[in-house]
Amino acid sequence: MNKESLEIKIMEGIGALRFGASPDEVLRCFGPCDESEELDTAGEHKSMVWHYWDRGFSVFFDVASGNRFSCVEIDDDSAQIWGKRIFEMKEAEIKTLFQSKGFRDLDEEDQDWGEKRVSFDDALIDFYFEKDRLISINYGVHLADTKDVIFPN
């Protein structure tokens, strides 16, 4: 997958890779990662993360779901969504774009570390802004224990 084709697909995946994919499928799509790590959120949720630093994204696997691809974090400013370069858009433009696509469950919060989070919970996506500039996007799906992808309502 070329950096130029980094395409955000809400509730589907990234580029040709679909949520629910196995690590082998991710490897075939993106090649070897630059770094990997395991995350454990206070014993509640374990994830395996493959970082593709040079490409500007990280792929998260849900351990409880058999290491299925469940989330991606992007900071590559060439990333696109619905044909638009999302990192070139202002916060208000992103809100308008998502609302025009039918997403309405908006939540905002100023983080302790200085970033502002803007989320569309019905799209399972978080946008992080620093000084009014988009710096990263995190989006994904819920995975059931049966390895089925659970899409938001």
The enclosing domain of 43 has a CATH number of 2.60.460
pTM of the model: 0.87
Q: Is 124 exposed, middle or buried (0-12, 13-18, 19+ CB in 10 A)?
A: buried
pLDDT at 89: 96
Contact between 125 and 71 under an 8 Å Cβ cutoff? The reply is no
Structural domain of residue 92, as residue ranges? 3-150
**Total structural domains within the chain:** 1
Q: Which residues contact 126 (CB under 8 A, 6 or more apart)?
A: 117, 118, 119, 137, 138, 139
DSSP, collapsed to helix, strand or coil, labels residue 31 as coil
pLDDT at 5: 61
Percent of the chain with pLDDT over 70: 87
pLDDT digits (tens, 9 = 90+) for 15-57: 999 999 999 999 999 999 999 999 887 666 789 999 999 999 9
